Amino acid sequence: MFAFLLGSILLSVVAFSQKSLASVAFCENADYESGALGISPYQTYQAAPFHPIQLNYALPPTNCPANNDVQGYFFLTPAGVVIMQDHVLILNPNGTLVGAIPGTFMGLHKYNGVDHVAVWKGQYEPGRRAYGRGYIVLLDNTYSPVANLYDLLYMNGVDIDQLQDDSKPWGWRRSSRVQVLHHELEITSNKTAIMVAYPPQAANLSAYGGPENGYIADGVVQEVDITTGRALFTWRASEHVDPGECYAAMGDATGKGTREYPWDYFHINSIQKQDDGNYLVSSRHCHVLYLIHPSGDIIWRMGGKMSDFVLPKGIEFSWQHHARIYNRSILSLFNNGATHFVKDLPFPQAFLLKFDYSNVDREISIINIQSPFNRKPAAARGSIQLLENGESIVGWGTSPYFSQHDANGEIKWSAQFAPSQNDNGAYRVFLHDWVGRPSTLPSMQISNTSTSNNVTVYAWWNGATEVSAWQLFGSAISNPLALTFLDVVSKVDFESTLRYAGEEDYEMFRVAAIDANGEILAYSDLVSLDGEIDVKADSQTVMGTRY
């Protein structure tokens, strides 16, 4: 049933999207925004079964499409009617694909002192992405899982399974709009994970126009020791924040206050632990950033009906995402100013504020305000990443754009990964350095037009960042490991094409991924011309020959 649904969704996307073999980003391509290239333009390859989004620099960087303003890789998970949605995409600044991991990007996190990719895997509530059920895995730089954080939360008394109904095709019934882990993840230097869940909680809602024996979706923050599985901190919004403080009236979009459909009055969407042990919690539906003491007490509120700070004019934020504090004095925030049922602002903004963490001085000053290139509302999602040089990368939430801003907030360039009419976007978009050394082997496919003395081979290696060239080798079936070098090409895209045409006949082929120093990183399997004989590379000795 589910597979069938997925199949028909993919088919319909194919029908109204146009494939594009051009894989570097477009620069100011007007057909892209108009929808003339389909509502989800994507890249294809000769053989690699990947269809990542095709970028368009709607506002080009000075060097388009190379984009010398950035170093590293873009990490994002395009959502909605996009082929290969729900994959963490790692893209070069020029738009070419580096790797794709199934799941939703939850950030790059230091764990054991080195970077790991956190990926949420699960199912969203059909038709909506505010709620979903799933778990987070941490992947090391070989893309191997080192921790599964679902088990930890579950073990520690956050009863996310209480309303599960396996008889439903998507594994849980609408009533359990339990949103597990999807909105935030932080890994601390103490090897703890900070996570969020929205378990249903019985509540008397008659004072808010709901049922006396009603239900809210609680907002739970939990910090768990990843090594021991022990919960170190659990905070429940329902024990500290009265729904009267919040703005999301009970209704269809926020839940009716019933057990079937609990009222999502709080809606946590970011948490950041501070060096002093306090937690910064963003409540989208209360329009508040709370600083929470390890005892659970609220130290201060920023924004909303009971703000302990005076917000300057123009930054009275609402329905916000992704709050972060730097150096106990600078706050970055993505202000949606809108949701699917209220529009406070015509388009979102991101900002950097200077404030007094100790809240002695209640005044806040504006460092900069960042505006989107396409001035369309963003009803959900969004992120702002402060770079070390004071510049920032902003992901414009449901608006499928991201951009770089200088230290004054001025826009430097803006890329789109779908036309604006595709109101889906990405949860967060970040720029990161990354070294991916996959534990999987390089992939190859021999073109079906090939003969023993005229061969075309396609090579790719999902997630590998260190490949600068590919080599092709051939051998005789009688002695497959006596390999002859046949071709070498520089790697400029996700997939590379290697060719041999000559006097000699070969029956077996394999490729080698070569790094910038000319060292062989790994071989693919050895494959016969007809694709039927396959000698596993891991049964071979890697020769380490320099070429």
Ligand X SMILES: *[C@@H]1O[C@H](CO)[C@@H](O)[C@H](O)[C@H]1NC(C)=O
Per CB under 6 A, residues contacting ligand X are: 24, 92, 94, 96, 188-190, 204, 206-207, 212, 273, 277, 326-327, 330, 386, 448-449, 454, 492-493, 501
Map residue 262 onto helix, strand or coil. Answer: coil
Cβ 194 to ligand X, closest distance in Å?
Answer: 9
437: exposed, middle or buried (Cβ count in 10 Å: 0-12, 13-18, 19+): middle
Which residue is it, tokens 């534990």? 439
Cβ 515 to ligand X, closest distance in Å?
Answer: 12
Cβ 238 to ligand X, closest distance in Å?
Answer: 15
Nearer to ligand X, 96 or 283 (CB): 96
Give the DSSP H or E segment for 196.
strand 192-197
Nearer to ligand X, 19 or 174 (CB): 19
Nearer to ligand X, 218 or 423 (CB): 218
Nearer to ligand X, 386 or 481 (CB): 386
Cβ 521 to ligand X, closest distance in Å?
Answer: 15
Cβ 188 to ligand X, closest distance in Å?
Answer: 4
Both tokens assigned to 111? 């764990």
For 290, list phi and psi in degrees, rounded to 5: -105, 135
Give one DSSP letter per residue of 83-149, joined into a string. Answer: TTTTEEEEE-TTS-EEEEEESEEEEEEEETTEEEEEEEEEEEPTT-SS-EEEEEEEE-TTS-EEEEH
Cβ 273 to ligand X, closest distance in Å?
Answer: 5
Cβ 234 to ligand X, closest distance in Å?
Answer: 15
Determine contact, residues 370/349, Cβ cutoff 8 Å. Answer: yes
What are the strands, taking DSSP E only, across 219-346?
A: 220-225, 231-236, 268-273, 279-283, 288-292, 298-302, 321-326, 330-335
For 352, list phi and psi in degrees, rounded to 5: -115, 130
Map residue 317 onto helix, strand or coil. Answer: coil
- Residues whose CB is less than 8 angstroms from the CB of residue 128 and which lie 6 or more positions away in sequence, other chains included: none
Cβ 389 to ligand X, closest distance in Å?
Answer: 9
Determine contact, residues 473/467, Cβ cutoff 8 Å. Answer: no
Nearer to ligand X, 39 or 386 (CB): 386
Nearer to ligand X, 326 or 547 (CB): 326
Nearest to 509 by CA among 457, 448, 438: 457
Cβ 301 to ligand X, closest distance in Å?
Answer: 22
Cβ 206 to ligand X, closest distance in Å?
Answer: 4
CA 301, 302, 305, 308 torsion: positive or negative? positive
Nearest to 10 by CA among 55, 33, 42, 48: 42
Nearest to 101 by CA among 147, 140, 55, 152: 140
Nearest to 400 by CA among 143, 76, 166, 71: 76
Nearer to ligand X, 482 or 488 (CB): 488
Nearer to ligand X, 160 or 429 (CB): 429
Nearer to ligand X, 148 or 490 (CB): 490
Cβ 242 to ligand X, closest distance in Å?
Answer: 11
Beta 298-302 vs 288-292: how paired, if at all? antiparallel
Distance between CA atoms of residues 164 and 154, nearest Å: 13
Nearer to ligand X, 190 or 545 (CB): 190
Nearer to ligand X, 5 or 207 (CB): 207
Distance between CA atoms of residues 81 and 420, nearest Å: 12
Nearer to ligand X, 89 or 338 (CB): 89
Nearest to 492 by CA among 44, 94, 127, 199: 94
Map residue 213 onto helix, strand or coil. Answer: coil
Nearer to ligand X, 150 or 500 (CB): 500
Nearer to ligand X, 34 or 484 (CB): 484
C-alpha distances out from residue 34 to 41, 451, 455, 527, Å: 12, 44, 41, 44
Determine contact, residues 160/154, Cβ cutoff 8 Å. Answer: yes
Cβ 454 to ligand X, closest distance in Å?
Answer: 4
Both tokens assigned to 261? 């459909």
Cβ 245 to ligand X, closest distance in Å?
Answer: 16
Cβ 166 to ligand X, closest distance in Å?
Answer: 33
